[in-house]
Amino acid sequence: MTAAAAATSPVGPLRLRPVSRAEHLAFVGSRRSVSHMQLPSWGDVKPDWEAESLGWFDGEGRIVGAGLVLLRALPRVRRYLAYLPEGPVIDWADPRLERWLDPLLAYLKGRGAFTVRMGPPVVVRRWSAEAVKQAIADPAVRRLRDAEPTSYEPGAADLAERLRRTGWRQPQEHGTAGFAAGQPRYVFQVPFAGRSLDDIRGGLNQQWRRNVKKAEKAGVKVVRGGYEDLPAFHTLYTETAERDRFVARPLSYFQRMWTALTSEHPDRMRLYLAHHDGEILAAATMLTVGEHVWYSYGASTDRRREVQPNNAMQWRMMSDAHELGAAVYDFRGITDTLEETDHLLGLLRFKVGAGGEAVEYLGEWDRPLNRLLHQAFALYMARRGGAS
């Protein structure tokens, strides 16, 4: 089983307690890949949630695991949903998983949590770009989950069964599996480890390579922006939201995100802008934690699409990620639905063109601590369309 946040499993019982931001950051900084949503700074991005850093300690007092928990109160009730997005950062391969999760549940119950939700960073299956293309072309395959995977991760199914046996359940998805409320279960990633930039370029499909050259010939210039360029990004992002039918976040969200993440590390968040003839045609944010780089938010206009600004921008971001020493370039969520009627299928085709693989994670899991409040919360979330 691949667990991106795995730590060396200690022997004996573990103790959990709140930790300082410095302790938390030092621990996750020693890991090769940790989600940006498990950083102390992510709590600053979510002002509607109360954030707390937690640490697991072995018998010798050494920190061996960490997690950022976000707490959100039910309306008119001081009881909380406790949420650990894409975490916690523990040894998910440890067969004695209760040593990690039991102290977490006990602590959060004492904090007033009625439900704990977490997202184990554990991969279940992978599909090569070619396998995804074949699945899209096969009319008998309507969902990625039904297509034959290229590989399975050993131990993931056993982990899921152990979670079920101990009372954890997967919440009902609202929306497609890649873009439902919460964090995406299906993502698209391009492995960089051990590959030269020429190798990565060679992995692009013919259309991608043609579009990158077309953008260069047309004079598209991709530059890095700063905080002062976020309004220009947001203008394009709002246009994208209207076109692709999703709810746009306000400009203040991205300004808060920039301030929080870059205060923690000056290169944690980048902004890229694709210019052509004095106009910004596309823009995107890129996040870096250790050896993992994410394409986070993208935006573009319908104007002058023929000069291919999106391919140019993504190739610049991939090139910069490689220069940073990234082991993986993560395009984030993809749709699980492969039907032509799904408006997100075009985005999936775009990402597949970059080479790499579709990846299914174990998904998010709930552990009710108060079943009545948990059921009320599930109903509330279903009515408002999700909560992350």
Q: Is the pLDDT of residue 181 over 60?
A: no
What's the rounded mean pLDDT across residues 151-166?
95
Quickly list DSSP for 251-279.
HHHHHHHHHHHHHH-TTSEEEEEEEETTE
The predicted pLDDT at position 96 comes to 94
Express each pLDDT in 330-378 by its tens digit. 999 999 999 988 888 999 999 999 999 999 999 999 999 988 888 777 7
Q: Is the pLDDT of residue 382 over 80?
A: no
The predicted pLDDT at position 180 comes to 41
Q: Is the pLDDT of residue 4 over 70?
A: no
The predicted pLDDT at position 2 comes to 42
Q: Is the pLDDT of residue 14 over 80?
A: yes
pLDDT above 90 as % of the chain? 82
Q: How far apart are CA 154 and CA 131, in angstroms?
A: 20
What's the rounded mean pLDDT across residues 293-320?
95
Are 45 and 60 in contact by the 8 Å Cβ rule? The answer is: no
- Evaluated on CA atoms 109, 112, 116, 118, the torsion sign reads negative
The predicted pLDDT at position 11 comes to 72
Q: Which residue's structure tokens are 């394409």? A: 295
More confident residue, 12 or 381: 12
Measure CA 363 to chain center. Answer: 11
pLDDT, mean over the chain: 92
Are 131 and 150 in contact by the 8 Å Cβ rule? The answer is: yes
Q: Is the pLDDT of residue 182 over 90?
A: no
**Range scoring the smallest mean pLDDT among 150-154, 175-179, 196-200:** 175-179
Q: How far apart are CA 272 and CA 281, in angstroms?
A: 11
Express each pLDDT in 244-271 by its tens digit. 888 999 999 999 999 999 999 999 999 9
The predicted pLDDT at position 172 comes to 74
What's the rounded mean pLDDT across residues 186-212?
97
